[in-house]
């Protein structure tokens, strides 16, 4: 017998049976390429790092001068803004009696008009009650800051450099009593 094979065959298998159709499946290893994922992660990381560092917090800067003796001020160049504990606003030009201000928009126009009247020599004194809500104090300061833009434009048209002059001063007990009656 050439070929070394035997003439015997294994057990007979019927045609169409499942025994002949079964083959062992080869398992192929699953490989995930991480390169694009890492690239995208670094792109996102750098984007968020750059975009957050460019966004600076919004703060209100105030420089407070050192304590000095009393400063002489002309009464005609002094605007005093009073804010009572119930957030009611009053104004006093020079030595006049305090007069109610209708709203914050009127405060802005008052600041602009009075600064233009005395050609940038107006000193604004802000006096807040002790129980005025902090948010309202910020709103008053914001309105005065909004007036600065328009003032700067109007004064630069007249070739006058804008110098901002205002002070935060405490209310005296006499002023508190006077405002209670208004």
pLDDT tens-place string over residues 57-106: 677 666 666 676 676 777 778 888 899 888 889 988 877 888 888 888 88
Query: Got the DSSP string for 32-101?
Result: ---HHHHHHHHHHHHHHHHHHHHS---------PPP-S-----GGGEEEEEE-TTS-EEEEETTPPPEE-
The two three-digit tokens of residue 166, written as one number: 């205002």
Answer yes or no: is 10 within a domain.
Answer: no
- The whole domain housing 148 covers 75-181
Q: Rounded to an integer, what distance in angstroms lies between the CA atom of residue 177 and that of residue 19?
A: 107
Listed residue (163, 164, 179, 182) closest to 131, CA to CA: 179
Residue 41 in this model has a pLDDT that exceeds 90: yes
How many domains does one find in the chain? 1
Answer yes or no: is 150 within a domain.
Answer: yes
Residue 20 in this model has a pLDDT that exceeds 60: no
Answer yes or no: is 40 within a domain.
Answer: no
Is pTM beyond 0.75? Reply is: no
Answer yes or no: is 35 within a domain.
Answer: no
Answer yes or no: is 38 within a domain.
Answer: no
pLDDT at 65: 64
Residue 11 in this model has a pLDDT that exceeds 80: no
CATH code of the domain covering residue 159: 3.30.420.270
pLDDT at 72: 73
């Amino acid at each position: 017998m050439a070929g070394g094979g035997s003439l015997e065959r294994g057990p007979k298998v019927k045609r169409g049976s499942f025994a002949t159709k079964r083959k062992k499946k080869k398992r192929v290893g699953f490989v995930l390429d991480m390169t694009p994922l890492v690239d995208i992660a670094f792109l996102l990381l750098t984007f968020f790092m750059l975009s957050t560092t460019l966004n600076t917090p919004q703060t209100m800067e105030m420089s407070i001068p050192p304590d000095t003796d009393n400063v002489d001020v002309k009464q005609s160049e002094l605007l005093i803004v009073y804010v009572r504990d119930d957030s009611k606003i009053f104004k006093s030009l020079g030595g006049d009696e305090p007069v109610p201000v209708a709203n914050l928009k009127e405060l802005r126009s008052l600041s602009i008009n009075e600064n233009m009247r005395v050609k940038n020599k107006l000193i604004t004194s802000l006096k807040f009650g002790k129980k005025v809500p902090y948010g309202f104090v910020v709103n008053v300061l914001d309105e005065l800051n909004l007036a600065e833009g328009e003032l700067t434009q109007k004064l630069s048209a007249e070739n006058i450099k804008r110098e901002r002059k205002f002070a935060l001063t405490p209310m005296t007990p006499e002023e508190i009593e006077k405002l209670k009656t208004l």
